[in-house]
Amino acid sequence: MTLLLCGPRGFCAGVDRAIQIVVLALKKYGAPVYVRHEIVHNRYVVEGLENQGAIFVKDLDELPETEQPVIFSAHGVPKSVPERAASMNLKYLDATCPLVSKVHKQAMLHERRGRHVVLIGHKGHPEVVGTMGQLPEGAVTLLETEADVDAFVPPAELGLGFVTQTTLSVDDTAGVIARLQERFPEAQAPSAESICYATTNRQEAVKAAADGCDLFLVVGAANSSNSNRLVDVALRSGAKEAALVNTAADIPYATLPKAGPLTVGLSAGASAPEVLIAGVIDALKDRYDVTLELAQTAIEDENFMVMRDLRDVPLTADDMAFVNGPA
């Protein structure tokens, strides 16, 4: 088997920062630390943080009276959430990815300039809920497809501006944007690209590796938008089969040819830790004679700092070993 390992893959800077915030908060304030929703879309990460003393809740009203902090997830939250936390006298730490926050600011800028905001994204995704919640009700219209664009009737008295969810398929989104600009040439684009660098880089690496693969594996969770998009990209880019796997236990061996040399691609969504990727590689090596090749299309060196309140807390390799593996 030739195993094509994509790079970049796995954790992005925003996910890494969010997980660090929970770990550092536990070290500074002790357990428990509360987290509203999954900090990132990966059960392995969530369970690892639970083992360290994090408690995950769906809503702030589930919290007991406490002086312990509550952390908001990397996907971002509506403005009503920190307002509610303040009214409950809760200490909160916002782990929203800075690139998601940038989309929030772009949407608010459109609205301040008298534009109705179009958000291209997936209904119900936490990031979409958070972005729409930055503006008054009715100020944002969510569009998912080109058909949605065709059916869209904007408010007559306002201009238009658009932003996108950060984790979409670059190619799919380009089609929706093109259709939007064809129908509404006056629609204003955001001042900077909304789809984040990590999403784009991972999709480009998959495109480079997928053609001719008998199977393309993406390590990631079923509720991870960017991971699902990598599966789509692999299939469109020439992989014969593609599958999303949580762990090595999910590898669909039955889809592989029974004889002959095999080519398998491997990538991971931005919420998937390196330890799970290593587990998939080890499982394939246990079953096949594997030649490992790197399909590298970009180098990422971005680093998003945690908030000032946590910068005085030391972070060691052992603190992050549950996601990165032993140092």
Which amino acid belongs to residue 18?
A
Element (H, E) at 10: none
Structure tokens at 86: 């303040």
pLDDT tens digit string along 170-220? Answer: 988 999 999 999 999 999 999 888 889 999 999 999 999 999 999 999 999
3 state SS of 171: helix
101/75 Cα distance (integer angstroms): 9
Q: State the pLDDT at residue 290.
A: 97
In terms of Cα–Cα distance, which of 165, 217, 197, 160 is closest to 299?
197
Please give the domain boundaries of the chain with CATH numbers for all domains.
2-11+197-296 (3.40.1010.20), 13-97+313-324 (3.40.50.11270), 99-183 (3.40.1010.20)
The Cα 30–Cα 316 span in angstroms is 16
Helix orientation angle between 43-52 and 13-29, rounded to the nearest 10 degrees: 10
For residue 327, the model assigns a pLDDT of 53
The active-site residue, picked from 47, 50, 83, 127, is: 127
Query: Within 10 Å of residue 240's Cβ, how many Cβ atoms?
Result: 16
* Exposure string over 282-312, b if 16+ CB within 10 A, otherwise e: ebbeeeeebeeeebebeeeeeeeebeeebee
pTM for the predicted model, two decimal places: 0.94
Annotated catalytic residue 293: no
